[in-house]
Structure 1
Amino acid sequence: MACPFRCVFCNQQKISGHFKSPDFNEVTRTIRTYLNTFKAPNKQVEVGFFGGTFTGIPETIQEKYLETVQPFLQAGEIQGIRLSTRPDYIDKNILERLKHYGVTTIELGAQSLDDAVLKKSRRGHTAKQVEEAATQIKAAGFDLGLQMMIGLPGDTLEKSLATADKIIAWGASNTRIYPTLVIKDTVLHHWYKEGKYQPLSLDEAVNWSKSLLIKFENAGVQVIRMGLHPSEGLLNGEEWIAGPFHPSFRELVLTEIWYDLLTKHFDSQDKSFTAKQLNLEVSPKEINYAIGYSGKNRKMLQSFFREVRFYSNEKLDGREFRFHLT
């Protein structure tokens, strides 16, 4: 809803998997349905409004959507509201209205912070407008999210890394990394058919995202998502024409980070270790990524050792690991 532009990559209905906006009763039912599935005590729950330009829809409709959430906020069943919008749809009055209704996080679809990439992608705004909106959002006391895309027309790894640097510098607490896909009936679809646009390969997208994730982690910026949500149209290939889509994209990226870490450590080891068993201890949260998607990292280590076994160790944090040989 409300987006006045047709970016070259966008067919919002096909990307989101929804062809109409939910009515107000549906919002209430959806919130109640999901709350009934959350059993953990002291949970932190947010309601999110995504899939359009929220602050661009008529004020009365914005307010009706936000009003549906108020009973859940007042009862303490949810702790915040987040929404997505465009940087050119932010001003003082908008922010005051969102604050009044308990919105806590505003995500801007920045996509790129390189003006040449933005122009080629027909975004309709500049990097300067993103910076101005981000400054207003932070000053008003909201958490700021800045979403980015990689592999847009004219993009390079260096430009994407520069975009990440600006996301960090402008105070975002969170981000999302979306590899650009060629979706059916978009401008990119036509350009792709005409040979005017070539998306990143899956390997390229994974490697770019790996560098970006490490940069964001080092700066304390949470990467909420990597890769487009796998709607039915993407999974069955009806809407996805080309580009680096994978339903486990984040797992591929984390696998590569662990691959680099383990290769760097064990490739330099004494090759006499090939007769020994490697016992590798990893944090429970990281063990699947350490083993790797489809066991990639286990297979790599098996080229160095007679046998490789992974164990969870709750005392380890992040990507720390311990090992011993037997």
Structure 2
Amino acid sequence: MKHYNIPVFISHFGCPNSCVFCNQKKINGRETDVTAEDVVEIIEEYLESLPKESIKEVAFFGGTFTGISKSLQEEYLKTVKVYMDRGLIDGIRMSTRPDYISRDILEMLVKYKVTTIELGVQSMDTEVLRLSGRGYEPSEVYRASELIKEYGIQLGIQLMPGLPGSTYVTDLNSARQVLDINPDMVRIYPTLVISGTAMEGMYRAGRFEPMTLEEAVERIVPIYAIFEVAGINIIRVGLQPSDDLREDGVIIAGPFHPAFRELVEARIYGDFLERFQDEEEIIVEAHEKNISKITGIKKVNKVRFGRKLIIRIDRGLSLREVRINGKVYTRLDILGGVIHESDNN
């Protein structure tokens, strides 16, 4: 059954933290700009268009949900519970910080049947966390993750490769540490310089240089591979191209692409095909749904290998298989090659 999120974006005007990548406004006397009535309106609007036979979660994103006052958290949760009691909504998910998780908070969330908590971890490197203004140590991530699992709530972790002080190695090591935590799902967001953030000031002063699009793809490919091989659900790679992001002047710099995941997939297949570079032809046969991934956006792999690359549809192959010059390789074969290469870097 298909899953749908009903997104409710809650700003946290009272957030005391100063993360360099965040442009949350600080408005005295106000916690947020979303009322319980707004939540009802959003849910009703989505329920009109979403298929009845589907899994629906209300997703509180955009701020630190468990950082707002407990009374307001409960007001939101009670609003959604009405729909859950009527069988119209199947669950609640939210994003928050690792240092805003406690037993008291989790007991309340369990009471209202919260199904998923996504932690904005961003990095597991102490120095990167410090330079990014996160205000906690990696140990806080382990503590919060263990508690969330203990209470039977699904755990998601969000990573931001390319933060100040990060490198290919620190970002890959962060992913490996997250692998040890074994979350149910991950999101991977390459760092962008957003207008109105401290990072914008760092960038304009020459104190921070974001990754290029090419660098971001190269850095995220092995991270993507180790999570997929481990069976962890990668629910997003790259920021969703919302209307806000597309407005002029919102993204100041950084590796934004509306189809970032497709860039990563094409690189994974392209790098694997390099081992056949010395052969006269590279004949690739795959399920029709994989052809665009192998070809790549703007036919990047056709350009990379030229006329020697021949790609054909074979409906007899599964989505997890590809035949190259007569030999069948599994998805794990291909991803394993990526991981092996990253171990040598």
Do both proteins adopt the same fold according to a TM-score greater than 0.5, normalized to the shorter chain?
yes
Q: Find the counterpart in structure 2 of residue 16 from structure 1.
A: none
Identify if the C-alpha distance between structure 1 residues 299 and 77 changes in structure 2 by more than 3 Å, giving closer, same or farther: farther
Q: Find the counterpart in structure 2 of residue 321 from structure 1.
A: 322
Q: Find the counterpart in structure 2 of residue 10 from structure 1.
A: 22
Secondary structure at 2:307's aligned position in 1?
coil
- Once the two structures are overlaid, the 10-residue window that deviates more, 102-111 or 224-233, is 224-233
- CA–CA distance in 2 between the matches of 1:181 and 1:324? 40
Give the drift of 1:279: 6.5
Secondary structure at 2:49's aligned position in 1?
coil
Give the counterpart letter for 1:313 in structure 2: R
1:76-91 aligned within 5 A: 76-91=87-102
* Alignment gaps of 5+ in structure 1: 14-19
Q: How many residues align?
A: 309
Q: Find the counterpart in structure 2 of residue 171 from structure 1.
A: 182
Q: Find the counterpart in structure 1 of residue 300 from structure 2.
A: 296
1:287 to 288, 291, 309: 291
Contact 1:138 1:171 in 2 (8 A): no
1:33 to 28, 34, 45: 45
- CA–CA distance in 2 between the matches of 1:236 and 1:312? 42
- 1:65-94 alpha-carbon deviations (Å, 9 max, x no partner): 111211332233332211011111111110
Q: Find the counterpart in structure 1 of residue 163 from structure 2.
A: 152
- CA–CA distance in 1 between the matches of 2:248 and 2:264? 22
1:39-78 aligned within 5 A: 39=51, 41=53, 43-78=54-89
- CA–CA distance in 1 between the matches of 2:205 and 2:168? 24
Matched, 1:208 2:219: yes
Give the counterpart letter for 2:323 in structure 1: R
Q: TM-score, normalised by structure 1?
A: 0.87
Secondary structure at 2:302's aligned position in 1?
helix
Identify if the C-alpha distance between structure 1 residues 279 and 180 changes in structure 2 by more than 3 Å, giving closer, same or farther: closer
Secondary structure at 1:208's aligned position in 2?
helix
Secondary structure at 1:238's aligned position in 2?
coil
Secondary structure at 1:77's aligned position in 2?
coil
Secondary structure at 2:236's aligned position in 1?
strand
Secondary structure at 1:129's aligned position in 2?
helix
- CA–CA distance in 1 between the matches of 2:19 and 2:168? 21
Give the counterpart letter for 2:287 in structure 1: V
- 1:20-73 alpha-carbon deviations (Å, 9 max, x no partner): 6332222222223223333373x2221100111101111111111111211332
RMSD (CA atoms)? 2.2
Give the drift of 1:313: 2.5
Q: Find the counterpart in structure 1 of residue 341 from structure 2.
A: none
Give the drift of 1:183: 1.4
Contact 1:235 1:247 in 2 (8 A): no
- 1:159-182 alpha-carbon deviations (Å, 9 max, x no partner): 111111111111211111111111
Give the counterpart letter for 2:73 in structure 1: Q
Q: Find the counterpart in structure 2 of residue 226 from structure 1.
A: 237
Q: Find the counterpart in structure 2 of residue 132 from structure 1.
A: 143
Identify if the C-alpha distance between structure 1 residues 120 and 293 changes in structure 2 by more than 3 Å, giving closer, same or farther: same
Give the counterpart letter for 1:47 in structure 2: V
Secondary structure at 1:209's aligned position in 2?
helix
Matched, 1:235 2:261: no
Matched, 1:254 2:254: no
Contact 1:192 1:198 in 2 (8 A): yes
Question: What fraction of aligned residue pairs are identical, expressed as a percent?
Answer: 41
Contact 1:82 1:104 in 2 (8 A): yes
Contact 2:156 2:186 in 1 (8 A): yes
Taking CA–CA contacts closer than 8 Å with sequence separation of 6 or more, which of the two structures ends up with the larger relative contact order? 1
Give the drift of 1:158: 0.9
Identify if the C-alpha distance between structure 1 residues 184 and 102 changes in structure 2 by more than 3 Å, giving closer, same or farther: same
Give the counterpart letter for 2:269 in structure 1: W
Identify if the C-alpha distance between structure 1 residues 28 and 246 changes in structure 2 by more than 3 Å, giving closer, same or farther: same
Q: Find the counterpart in structure 2 of residue 17 from structure 1.
A: none
* Alignment gaps of 5+ in structure 2: 1-11, 26-31, 327-345
Give the counterpart letter for 2:150 in structure 1: A
- CA–CA distance in 1 between the matches of 2:306 and 2:43? 47
Contact 2:286 2:317 in 1 (8 A): no
